[in-house]
Amino acid sequence: MTRPSLRSDSGTVETWRLIESWDAAPEFNMGLDEALLDDPEAPPTLRLYTWSPDTLSLGYFQKWADVPGTGSVGAVVRRITGGGAIHHTQELTFSIVLPQSHALFRGPVPLSYGRIHEALITALAGFGVEASLAGQAGLLSDREQTGMCFHESTPLDVAWGARKGVGSAQRRRRGRVLHHGSIKLGSTPLEGDIATLEGYLPGDNPIGALAPALLREIETSFAVHLERSEATASERSAAQRLGGRYASRSFLRRR
C-alpha cells in the first residue's frame, strides 16, 4: 500500500513538540488538551499520557444516564471530544493538536482519521499485531446500550481479532483540531471483550515498548521531528484553570 505523504512541498521536516504526562490527574489531562486547542500560538503538539486515578471519560454529547459505569471507577470526567465513554486504565492515551489547515487534518474529518489510523496500524504491526480498519461489517466487540466507545464501531476504527482496539475522537474549534486516541493495553470489566495489546508487549513495561515505536512511526508517517518538551508555565496555568470544569457536577451532568 502506498502511504499518503504529509511531507511539505519543500521537503522540510516539521518539528512537533512532544509532551509526556504519566499518571496525570484527569483534570490536568483534559485541561491541557483544551489549553493547547484554544491557543492559536501553541506549536504543533503531540501528547502521550496516562491517568491517575483510573478515569471514565464521557463523550461531549453523551447523557450521564446513558453510561452505566460511572459508579465503578476512580474518577469521571466529560471530554470536549465526541463519541462514547472510555475507561482510561491499562491504556496509552495520545492527543494531537494542530491547525485545521495542517496537511494531517485538511479535508473531511474521516480522511484525517484514515491518516492517523494507518500510522497506528503500521506501528502495531511491529509487535505482530495484525490490525486493520474495521470496515463495514461490524465487530465482535460491538454491544448495545453500554455507552462505551469500544462497544461502538465505525468503518474507520482500528481493530484486530475483529474487535476494536483504538478509540478516537476530535474537537474542531476556531480553526484548530484536537484529536484524542486511546490504545488499549488491557481490558477492564467495563469494556470487556475488546482488542488489547496484552500478550504483544512485555508485561512489565508495555508503555516503555509501545511509546517509542509509536513515536518513531509518527515521525516517519507524518514527516515530522518530535522534540521532547514540557508544557509552558502559561499552558500549565491554563490547564489548571480549564481543568476544574471537566469533573464538575454541572459539566458532567450537562446532559
List residues near other proteins by CB under 8 A: 60-61, 80-83, 100-101, 106-111, 113, 154, 156, 168-175
Nearer residue to other proteins within complex by CB, 9 or 23? 9
The residue written with cell numbers 486547542 in the block is 37
Q: How far is the CB of 177 from other proteins (least distance, A)?
A: 8
Q: How far is the CB of 106 from other proteins (least distance, A)?
A: 7
Q: How far apart are CA 250 and CA 255, in angstroms?
A: 9
Nearer residue to other proteins within complex by CB, 55 or 112? 112
Q: Is 149 a catalytic residue?
A: yes
Q: How far is the CB of 117 from other proteins (least distance, A)?
A: 11
Which is the catalytic residue, given 56, 116, 149, 195?
149
The residue written with cell numbers 470544569 in the block is 245
Nearer residue to other proteins within complex by CB, 22 or 61? 61
Q: Which residues pair with 97 in a beta bridge?
A: 45, 178
Residue 253 φ/ψ, nearest 5 degrees: -105, 25
Nearer residue to other proteins within complex by CB, 80 or 207? 80
Q: How far is the CB of 101 from other proteins (least distance, A)?
A: 6
The pairing of strands 55-58 and 75-78 is parallel
Question: Residue 105 gets which letter from DSSP?
Answer: T
Cα 59 to Cα 62, 114, 132, 171, 229, distances in angstroms? 5, 21, 24, 11, 29
Residues annotated as catalytic (active site), given as ranges: 149
